[in-house]
Amino acid sequence: MSAWTVDRIPDQTGRSVVVTGASSGLGAITARELARKGARVVLAVRSPDKGEAVAREIRGAVPGAQLEVRELDLSSLASVRAFASAYTSATPALDLLVNNAGIMQTPARRTADGHELQLGTNHLGHFALTGLLLEALSQGSAPRVVTLSSTEHKGGHLHFDDLQLERGYAPRRAYQQSKMANTVFGLELDRRLRAAGSPILSVLAHPGYSATQLQSTGPTGLAALVLRIGNAVVAQPAERGALPQLYAATAPGVRGGQFFGPSGFQEMRGSVTEVQAVPEAHDPDIGQRLWTVSEALTGVTFPLPVPAGRS
């Protein structure tokens, strides 16, 4: 695995793919490399104009790339529902969903549905999208769901007594909680898919410390300055940061519940390797609790059984 590069991505001809947040950074790179290998890729983006610009760039690099740009605002559950409805109406099967989009360390704001913005966008939007596309995924060929986490999940905690952080909002605290939620979701989804005997794999990945627009579009003040310096001095290029999610999405032999990231110091950069989430993320009771509250907050339920041994 240490020498894994995009050249080793298997042929993706005939596979249908949705990549969220594909208008820049890791999402754009992921869309490009999957299209290069023959996949039909939907760029699910908040700004269709930016998505079309990226699609033109990809077509310039990959003649004949099969791309479609569709609007998706993960901070709006209405937008998530509209996207999923339009996709499933046009395409009965989905082979790969890459839950890549995210925002980081924003000032205190709310989604269109009243949820804390980072939790609502990074976790609740993807939770709802995955649930609404689950039937299409079940019709896919060797289907996978790849959910993007972060090393920041290690400092995170799910504050179930104040999930919206109304009593203690801080940009990084909210981001860490949202990334813990992504990680718990990916692992709990794996447990539920296994319990159902589903062919769908739920896999996690994180990019380490990679230089993308994420660090410059969310944080403000001193945090923005520190991250800008980090991008220049510490971060690895986004092209390398995208490798763990591309590996999770395409490599033969990947198993549900695995987590991939960089191999270097503190998983900040390096070759693709399997990494481990912190113990809290693996706790089935926490997975159950997050699942229940996420269904309540989104109104989306998954047609999957509760794993044996739970009430």
Q: What is the 3-state secondary structure (H, E, C) of 22-55?
A: CCCHHHHHHHHHHHHCCCEEEEEECCHHHHHHHH
Question: pLDDT value at position 237?
Answer: 87
Token couple for 27: 């999402």
The residues that are catalytic are 175
> Running DSSP on this structure, what letter comes out for residue 160?
G
Question: pLDDT value at position 219?
Answer: 45
Question: pLDDT value at position 107?
Answer: 95
Task: Say which residue the tokens 């092209």 belong to.
Answer: 239
* AA letter at 280: E
d(CA 152, CA 280): 13
Task: Say which residue the tokens 């709802």 belong to.
Answer: 128
Task: Say which residue the tokens 């249908």 belong to.
Answer: 16
d(CA 83, CA 41): 14
* Burial tier of 50 (Cβ tally within 10 Å: 0-12, 13-18, 19+): middle
pLDDT band at 221 (very low <50, low <70, confident <90, very high): low
The pLDDT tens digits for 106-150 are 999 999 999 999 999 999 999 999 999 999 999 999 999 999 999
Of all residues in the chain, what percent carry a pLDDT higher than 70? 91
Question: pLDDT value at position 210?
Answer: 67
Instruction: Give the SS3 label for residue 125.
Output: helix
d(CA 73, CA 96): 19
pLDDT band at 267 (very low <50, low <70, confident <90, very high): confident
Q: Which CATH superfamily is domain 11-205+244-263+273-298 in?
A: NAD(P)-binding Rossmann-like Domain (3.40.50.720)
The pLDDT tens digits for 42-81 are 999 999 999 999 999 999 999 999 999 999 999 999 999 9
* Burial tier of 232 (Cβ tally within 10 Å: 0-12, 13-18, 19+): exposed
pLDDT band at 265 (very low <50, low <70, confident <90, very high): confident
If you average pLDDT over residues 212-234, what whole number do you get? 48
In the chain the first and final C-alpha atoms are separated, in Å, by: 39
Residue 2 has pLDDT above 80, yes or no: no
Question: pLDDT value at position 130?
Answer: 98
Q: What is the CA radius of gyration of the chain?
A: 18
The pLDDT tens digits for 228-250 are 544 444 568 889 999 999 999 99
Of all residues in the chain, what percent carry a pLDDT higher than 90? 85
